Structure 1
Amino acid sequence: MFVELGEDGRRDLLRTETLLVLALSLGASGVSALISFIGSLTRPGGLKDQAATLNGSYAPGRPWLDLAWQLFGIASALVPVLLVAHLLTREGAPGLRVLGFDRTRPLWDLGRGALVAAGIGSAGLAFYLGARAAGFNLTVVPEALPDVWWKFPVLILSAIQNAVVEEVIVLAYLLRRLGQLGWSPMAALAASSLLRGSYHLYQGIGGFIGNVVMGAVFVLAYRRWGRVGPLVAAHALLDIVAFGGYALLAGKVGWLPTP
């Protein structure tokens, strides 16, 4: 039996729902990143002499067990996205389609995503190298997987998973809920961008600032296009290039920092 809620009750329900979704996903990651950053700050040595590994081995020397853990981690990380789809459907919306995450315009999404990725990727790399050189960032290690046959497929799946979780939840879903709760467009932009920066804080101040800026750009693009699909594509392409590029170039070019 469902109880009819007034406007205040509905807003309280949406507020609680949003906090729970974030607590089960990237809000919790933000708290974890803050604790990690405090640990890095209080550890002897500068930030750039420490490393933040994004894709590491779960079972060194046991490739099949490692693969099982990798796939489990990717699949379980997507559960909050399924929860968001369920909640939107219960709301009466057509699931993730209301956020513009569907297969109706794949080439349109991919084309705009590629343009965004090209612009942000080059600027982001330059900002990371500068922040690390200035001592504001850890050395980011995008991948430290063993050289086995599944290495690159797992890196691609990891990149896609990151893109889907972050853009669906922190961008499209959060903006929708904050709008329904009466937040102003500028306040919602700030909240989404700061949250994005918070769960990258484990990389250092540079990682935080760079992702806050990226978050603001993504919010503006999402509002302009009305679809999160291009931003999912952009994020996935950025991570695929970062993960795969590091795997291919680390230790072979002088400009790419390694631990």
Structure 2
Amino acid sequence: MAQSDPNPTLTVGPFPRALARSDGYARRRLAWEIVIVLLVSVGQSAIYSVVSFVRATTRAPISQQQTQLNPSRSAEPLWDAVYQFLDIFFSLMLVALAIYLLWEPANNALRRIGLDFRRFGSDALRGIALVLLIGVPGIGVYAVGRAIGQSITVVPAPLDSSWWVIALLVLAALRAGLTEEVIFLGFLFDRLRRLGWSWTGVIVSTALLRGSYHLYQGWPSALGNVVMGLVFGWCYKRWGRVMPLVVAHTVIDIIAFVGYPLAAAWWPGIFAPPTPSPTPTGTP
């Protein structure tokens, strides 16, 4: 008689096999794990984003409202940098939590989801290709949304307040790339597949969650991020590596965070200029 698998959740590739329907305890545990991780990370942000959008629709017209990228945490530049760095650091701990939960005996989670440097050359090339495929049209989506009055004006952080601002914006972009791609793709793909979800269900549901995460910018940006989620999800299923998606997302956000103030000077009708730093008021 064949012996049963003593560890039915152990995986040797990036994508696990589904748990048996009879294994009710393991399935419930994974379901609660998904809920908890989402409610302390991207799911929480998605809920706030939806609430922010609903609130915005009940106020002035969308085109007359603003939201700020990487808002200042303090009027004093040095303390603002400290708070910004700590915010990035603690946000990355949520990424660490997701990776920790993915870890299995004798099965390195970083290698399994492809968040390593073994193929960084090809990962980087794929990431840059995705920047051209997703990033450039994404700018167009925002511009069209602004032109038709359906996108909230996104106000960037000013670049000239302190010498370390650009470094912090690059770190913020890396934080966004790791947070969204590791949790949306690496973590949720693994957990939902274990629960028996189809590939279509996994890709579409995570893309919709990604869109709701960005709804605070207006529905055109949310729709653009749904499309991005569909493309990234398909790529992750095909490549089995999250690193190209992290590279692409990070580069796209670096362009957005650092390049946006330059675009604002060139096209003030579409891109709002940075807001000046506030007058000192003490701690945030």
- TM-score of Structure 1 vs Structure 2, range by shorter chain: over 0.9
Once residues 91 and 33 of structure 1 are traced to their aligned partners in structure 2, the CA distance between those partners, rounded to angstroms, is 37
Q: Which residue of 2 aligns with 1:54?
A: 69
1:22 positional shift = 0.6
Summarize deviations over 1:137-168 as a string: whole Å, max 9, x none.
10122334662101100110000000000000
Poorly superposed stretches of 4+, deviation over 4 Å: none
Residue identity matched to 1:103 = F
- State the TM-score, normalizing by the size of structure 2: 0.85
What residue in structure 2 maps to residue 36 of structure 1?
A: 52
Q: What's the RMSD between the two structures over aligned residues?
A: 1.8
Q: Corresponding residue for 1:238? A: 252
**Which runs of no fewer than 5 residues in structure 1 stay unpaired?**
none
Say if 2:147 and 2:270, in contact at 8 Å, map to a contact too: no
Distance change (3 Å), C-alpha of 1:94 and 1:176: same
User: For residue 226 of structure 1, what is the aligned residue in structure 2?
Assistant: 240
Match of 1:73 among 87, 97, 100: 87
Q: CA deviation at 1:247?
A: 2.7
Report the residue type matching 2:67 in the other structure.
Answer: A
Say which structure is richer in helix.
1
Conservation of the 8 A alpha-carbon contact between 1:56 and 1:144: no
Q: Aligned with 2:55: secondary structure?
A: helix
Superposed counterparts of 1:3-42, under 5 Å: 7-42=23-58
Tell me if 1:82 matches 2:96.
Answer: yes
* TM-score of the pair, normalised by structure 1: 0.93
The alignment partner of 1:52 has SS state of strand
Could you say which residue in structure 1 is the equivalent of 2:218? 204
Asked if 2 retains the 8 angstrom alpha-carbon contact of 1:132 and 1:206, the reply is: no
What do the CA deviations read for 1:159-191 (whole angstroms, capped 9, x no partner)? 000000000001221011111000111111111
Task: Give the 3 Å change call, closer, same or farther, for CA 199–135 of structure 1 in structure 2.
Answer: same
Deviation at 1:109, TM superposition (A): 1.0
Match of 1:176 among 190, 204, 215: 190
Quote how far apart the aligned CAs of 1:92 are.
5.6
Q: CA deviation at 1:35?
A: 1.1
> What is the aligned counterpart of 2:116 among 102, 118, 122?
102
Amino acid at match of 1:8: G
- 2:128 aligned partner, one-letter code: A
1:23-80 deviations in whole A, cap 9, x for unaligned?
1100000111011111111112x111111111111112x1110000000110111111
Contact 1:18 1:174 in 2 (8 A): yes
